[in-house]
Amino acid sequence: MALVVAALLAAAPPLHLKDTTGAPHRLSDYRGKVVLVNFWATWCEPCREELPSIERLRAALADRRFAVLAVQMGGSPRTARDIAATLGLHFPLLMDGDSSASAAWKVNVLPTSFLVGPDGVVALSHVGEVDWSSGEWRRKVEALLPRIEKRARRQ
């Protein structure tokens, strides 16, 4: 029984938000992939500085089982789309207008990021800006990629 409780505590909180076009996204729909969930805001300078490195990582791993979900606290879809166009972002920007998702994930500082493994468990969290395309952070993401995929890439 204790093992079940421990496993439930490590599972990522639910995430069900619409993107800037109104399309729904659920974290559970990405099961089997490594997902970088990044909480940010348009008024957060470190967030805007970090987003291009997330895009570089996404592009570098485009053929892998990896996805990015960027959760914007507050703000409007239009502002998020404008920032995405300016920065050349090609991942979903999810709208957390009432900050309920941010509260569920216990986000108090921006940017805050979570790496969710293919099993839906949070494997890593980080508060503050990082260069996600750097070797160190890319290796952390790649270490979580499904073993089946790693075997297939070696052959």
H/E element, 87: helix 77-87
pLDDT classification of 4: cutoffs 50, 70, 90:
very low
pTM, rounded to two decimals: 0.89
The full set of domains in the chain, from first to last, is: 34-154 (3.40.30.10)
Are the C-beta atoms of 77 and 20 separated by less than 8 Å? yes
Summarised one tens digit per residue, pLDDT across range 76-135 is 999 999 999 999 999 999 999 999 999 999 999 999 999 999 999 999 999 999 999 999
pLDDT at 33: 96
Which residue, among 77, 78, 81, 93, has the nearest Cα to 40 in the 3D structure? Answer: 93
Residue 11 has a pLDDT of: 86
Determine contact, residues 82/47, Cβ cutoff 8 Å. no
Q: State yes or no: pLDDT of 6 exceeds 70.
A: no
